[in-house]
């Protein structure tokens, strides 16, 4: 018997998840409730034999699809998760939304909300479900990626990372981002969701000729044309699709380097 492609990816991710927990202990996982972070959550449950030894954090902009909130509450209970919900209440009370500028909205309601939550809980590391094939900038990430006290990502001077030996946290580093899914593609995720029967939010499945390939805030996500209403059909669709995954996501397109600027300020 030899390991399949999905087995290898699963093992690589579990190895990274366990390395980070061994080193940091005081960690949390970001759960956007999307397919990637739900897959990461699934792998994390495997790594710790069903019981997560740390909290799961949802960055709530208040503009998420209602299906996302329903799914979150259902599985937080079913999987016995310690759920933290992080919101930038101050800016929400002041009425901030995407209509006031998408860059500011993403930065305040996601990045700033995240900063406050990390400061309040003093997390040394965060697990994130980002993948290299999502965006050219994310393709440059490391598995363990340090952020400084201003949350900046020093992408011009990233630490070397070789042979499953990862960065340890230095005094001037605020926290380490841990990315166990970097090596997975969108197709890998769906094939794994199919193999493992991982539950996902309904929005991914086509209704009336449209489905969401990437989900976030209802204000800034557009569905794509699709008739894929089952996981099998999604897998088939992705094998032939020429549309990029995040084509429905506003923050990737507004201007050339919006993603780089958001990320250098601490965006996910």
Partner 1 sequence: MIDDNTLSFVIVGHIDHGKSTLIGRLLYDTQSLPPDRIAEMEKASAERGHEAEFAYLLDHLEEERQQGITVDTTQVFFKTDKRHYVIIDTPGHVEFVKNMITGASQAEAAVLIVDVNEGVKEQTKRHSYMLSLLGLEQVVVVFNKMDLVEYRQERFEKVKADALKFLASIKIQPDVCIPISAMKGDNVADKSENMDWYDGPTFMESLDGLKNHKAAEDKTLLLPVQDVYKISDKRINVGRVEAGTINAGDDIEILPTGLKTKVKSIEKFLEERTNAEAGECVGFTTSDAVFLERGAVVCQPGKGPKLSDRVSASVFWMSKKPLSTDQKLTIRCATQETSCKVEQIKERINSSTLEVLEKDAKGLENLDVGEVIIKTKKPIAVKDFNDVQELGRFVLVRDQNICAGGIVT
Reported as type and span, the H/E element at residue 84 is strand 83-86
> Binding to partner 1 by residue 247, rule CB under 8 A?
yes
Q: Give me the least distance between CB of 7 and partner 1, in Å please.
A: 8
Rounded distance, CA 180 to CA 160, Å? Answer: 17
Stretch that binds partner 1, among 33-41, 56-64, 150-158, 202-210 (CB under 8 A): 150-158
Long-range contacts of 255-258 (CB under 8 A, 24+ apart): 258/103
Tokens of 167: 């960065």
Q: Which is nearer to partner 1, 119 or 139 (CB)?
A: 139
Q: Which is nearer to partner 1, 97 or 183 (CB)?
A: 183
> Binding to partner 1 by residue 22, rule CB under 8 A?
yes
Rounded distance, CA 267 to CA 261, Å? Answer: 9
Stretch that binds partner 1, among 75-83, 128-136, 211-219, 225-233 (CB under 8 A): 128-136
Q: Which is nearer to partner 1, 22 or 208 (CB)?
A: 22
Q: Which is nearer to partner 1, 58 or 177 (CB)?
A: 177
Position among 30, 49, 79, 251 found at the interface with partner 1 (CB under 8 A): 49
N- to C-terminal Cα separation, the chain: 38
Rounded distance, CA 231 to CA 235, Å? Answer: 6
> Binding to partner 1 by residue 165, rule CB under 8 A?
yes
**Residue bearing tokens 């088939």:** 236
Strand 224-225 with 210-211, pairing: antiparallel
Give the binding-site size for partner 1 (rule: CB under 8 A).
55
Determine how many CB atoms are found less than 10 A away from the CB of residue 55: 16
Q: Which is nearer to partner 1, 99 or 255 (CB)?
A: 255
Rounded distance, CA 235 to CA 110, Å? Answer: 30
Q: Which is nearer to partner 1, 15 or 63 (CB)?
A: 15
Angle at 149 between CA 146 and CA 153, to 5 degrees: 40
Binders of partner 1 in range 190-219 (CB under 8 A) = none
Task: Catalog residues that contact partner 1 under the rule CB under 8 A.
Answer: 1-5, 7-8, 11, 14-15, 18-19, 21-22, 45-51, 132-133, 135-137, 139-140, 142, 155-156, 158-165, 167-171, 182-183, 185, 241-244, 247, 256-257, 260
């Amino acid at each position: 018997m030899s390991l399949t492609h999905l087995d290898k990816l699963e093992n690589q991710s579990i190895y990274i998840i366990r390395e980070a927990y061994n080193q940091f202990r005081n960690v949390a996982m970001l759960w956007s409730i999307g397919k990637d972070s739900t897959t990461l959550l699934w792998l994390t449950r495997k790594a710790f034999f069903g019981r997560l030894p740390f909290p799961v954090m949802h960055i709530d902009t208040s503009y998420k699809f209602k299906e996302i909130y329903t799914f979150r509450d259902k599985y937080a209970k079913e999987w016995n998760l310690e759920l933290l919900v992080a919101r930038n209440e101050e800016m929400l009370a002041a009425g901030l939304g995407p209509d006031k500028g998408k860059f500011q909205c993403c930065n305040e309601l996601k990045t700033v909300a995240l900063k406050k939550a990390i400061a309040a809980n003093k997390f040394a590391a965060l697990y994130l479900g980002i993948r290299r094939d999502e965006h050219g900038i994310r393709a440059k990430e490391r598995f363990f990626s340090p952020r400084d006290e201003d949350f900046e990502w020093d992408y011009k001077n990233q630490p070397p990372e070789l042979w499953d030996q990862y960065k340890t946290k230095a005094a001037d580093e605020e926290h380490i981002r841990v990315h166990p899914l970097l090596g997975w593609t969108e197709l890998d995720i769906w094939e794994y969701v199919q193999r493992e029967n991982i539950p996902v939010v309904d929005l991914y499945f086509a209704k009336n000729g449209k489905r969401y390939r990437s989900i976030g805030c209802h204000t800034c996500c557009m569905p794509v044309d699709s008739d894929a209403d089952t996981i099998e059909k999604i897998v088939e669709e992705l094998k032939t699709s020429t549309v990029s995954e995040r084509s429905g996501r506003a923050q990737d397109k507004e201007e050339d380097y919006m993603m780089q600027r958001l990320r250098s300020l601490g965006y996910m």
